[in-house]
Structure 1
């Protein structure tokens, strides 16, 4: 149910979570993997200084910026918290929202921009925090994705 570009994102996010010593794949892991895997997502963000800052914050995750998240569960209230290895509640909700967006569009497969729109829509997730720190307005990003890829 995932496009070829999006199909590689969960595996990349899982590798990042393991490498960073995190117990769960969170939305920042998804965002990082998504940006690397899908040119449409990078196009949606734009070839701007914000994109470079965004990658910078995501890379810093294991050496500084993201250390405040280690040992905690990402929960934006989307679903009940489950404390086990796997997906954070917010990451699971974002993947589900991406699939729902594709279905509403009449497609069988979710694309990377569907996941990007879902991440941008959740103002409480870690991906939203990273986007904000990089100077990317979530609502403008979500509207751009809706206008171009809906």
Structure 2
């Protein structure tokens, strides 16, 4: 049986530009692999922003630290786990695309918003002087469009989505002062 989502790297799927040698951190590549497995397991046609958020929360302590305290993270993970058993059933058989962000061509296996978020994460890493996109770069990209599924889940869990980019920027500034991540 063929998987519903092709097993290709983000580079093969056109998520990263052809001239992008740096790409993603090893941690972020693992997040993508986790999101892909989750989408297949949930029976979804595409990896969407909620799949990416779920995998990001499970694997990146910097992202968890920026989002909130342990009870809020638990509530957020609860919503994401419920996705396949009720909460997200209205998303099945639909494509995540708000129309607010220009979509990329060749996004097979990815929702248009998830593909755009991956591209934005790589660009954000470049703008901040990083060689590779990190989890916080992806988190900022996931909340760019308030109609993205990741943003909807964050808002339902009580996370102030509009404040996340500024909180991430402050944490990156703090980490830059002494070289340690907060």
* Shared fold (TM-score, shorter chain, > 0.5): yes
**Residue 17 of structure 1 pairs with residue 39 of structure 2:** yes
Q: Distance in 1 between matches of 2:60 and 2:146?
A: 22
**Residue 105 of structure 1 pairs with residue 128 of structure 2:** yes
Query: For 1:37, which of 21, 40, 59 is the aligned residue?
Result: 59
Q: Distance in 2 between matches of 1:51 and 1:45?
A: 7
Q: C-alpha displacement at 1:47, in angstroms?
A: 2.1
- For the 8 Å contact 1:121–1:138, the answer to whether it is kept is no
Where 2:74 maps in the other structure, the secondary structure is: helix
For structure 2, the 5+ residue unaligned runs are 1-22, 174-182
| Bigger proportion of residues as helix | 1
Q: C-alpha displacement at 1:37, in angstroms?
A: 1.1
User: How many residue pairs get matched?
Assistant: 150
Segment drifting more, 82-91 vs 26-35:
82-91
Q: Distance in 2 between matches of 1:73 and 1:104?
A: 30
What's 1:27 paired with? 49
- Return the TM-score normalized by structure 1: 0.93
- For the 8 Å contact 1:94–1:118, the answer to whether it is kept is yes
- Return the TM-score normalized by structure 2: 0.77
Q: Distance in 2 between matches of 1:22 and 1:63?
A: 13
Segment drifting more, 98-107 vs 42-51:
42-51
Q: CA-atom RMSD, angstroms?
A: 1.7
Q: Distance in 2 between matches of 1:144 and 1:94?
A: 18
Q: Distance in 2 between matches of 1:99 and 1:7?
A: 12
For structure 1, the 5+ residue unaligned runs are none
Q: Distance in 1 between matches of 2:129 and 2:108?
A: 33
